[in-house]
Amino acid sequence: DTGVSQNPRHKITKRGQNVTFRCDPISEHNRLYWYRQTLGQGPEFLTYFQNEAQLEKSRLLSDRFSAERPKGSFSTLEIQRTEQGDSAMYLCASSPKDRGNTGELFFGEGSRLTVL
Amino acid sequence: AQSVAQPEDQVNVAEGNPLTVKCTYSVSGNPYLFWYVQYPNRGLQFLLKYITGDNLVKGSYGFEAEFNKSQTSFHLKKPSALVSDSALYFCAVRDVGGYNKLIFGAGTRLAVHP
């Protein structure tokens, strides 16, 4: 399968622990996005990478959140000192630059975080 | 700021009947509008988009959407619903900024009954 891959698919953790999610985009896509989706809501933009450069961060991304894309390929999203309010589905999407300006994003299946 | 609204949490329709899922938008400038679908335990999938041109846009799985500038709407439609169309549907608008930051609506759950 050559789609967007996210791991782990589900993470249960205790409040205060750190968690890290990984996203492997479609190989030729240079644009990568992270979104967060809570129950009953649409996806909310968190951050955007073009190659290895993080070009925008939402104010939703507090200091406890950090995202990287060190070689312009896979990306990681780390949440430090998790809180119960961090429980959500974290979605990764990618797009090629030529389609990037017309809105077609390719989403992974998401990583569901449950903070106890 | 760009935004979209989906006024219906859920839409129920009988199989074989036409369906409409509503979306209204608020943008500065020309809107870039999208519909995505989310099946259970699956990622969001692109259905269709309006950038410019014909107001009736055709997309995947027999879906189409009608762009109405005067009503600032972009309703999703299908002439004959299938049970397999049951899913969560999201309307989205591209934010300003030159890349694909999408602003999504809250979603509408479509339930198609046999």
Residue-wise pLDDT tens digits, A64-76: 999 999 988 999 9
User: At which residue do the structure tokens 């439609």 appear?
Assistant: B77
Residue A57 pLDDT exceeds 80: yes
> Is the Cβ of A107 closer than 8 Å to some Cβ of chain B?
yes
Q: Do B34 and A40 touch (CB under 8 A)?
A: no
Return the closest-CA partner of residue B109 out of B5, B6, B24, B29.
Answer: B6
Residue A101 pLDDT exceeds 60: no
Q: Do B106 and A103 touch (CB under 8 A)?
A: no
Distance from the Cα of B42 to chain A's closest Cα (Å) equals 5
- Of the candidate ranges A40-54, A94-108, B57-71, the one whose mean pLDDT is the lowest: A94-108
Q: Do A106 and B46 touch (CB under 8 A)?
A: yes
Q: Do B43 and A55 touch (CB under 8 A)?
A: no
- At A9-42, the pLDDT tens digits run 999 999 999 999 999 999 888 899 999 999 889 9
pLDDT at position A61 is 84
pLDDT at position B68 is 95
User: At which residue do the structure tokens 């129950």 appear?
Assistant: A39
Residues of B in contact with A105 (CB under 8 A): 44, 46, 100, 102
Burial class (CB in 10 A: 0-12, 13-18, 19+), B18: exposed
pLDDT at position A97 is 74
Q: Do A55 and B32 touch (CB under 8 A)?
A: no
Residue A100 pLDDT exceeds 80: no
Residue B13 pLDDT exceeds 70: yes
Nearest CA in chain B to A108: B43
Mean pLDDT of chain B: 93
Residue B42 pLDDT exceeds 90: no
Give chain B's largest Cα–Cα span: 44
Which one of B102, B103, B108 makes the best mutation probe of the A interface by having the most chain A beta carbons within 10 Å?
A: B102
User: At which residue do the structure tokens 């789609």 appear?
Assistant: A3
CA distances from residue A61 to A38, A48, A69 in whole angstroms, order as listed: 15, 12, 16
pLDDT at position A89 is 96
Distance from the Cα of B19 to chain A's closest Cα (Å) equals 21
Nearest to A100 among B41, B99, B107 (CB): B99
Mean pLDDT of chain A: 91
- At B67-93, the pLDDT tens digits run 999 999 999 999 999 999 999 999 999
Mean pLDDT of B17-27: 96
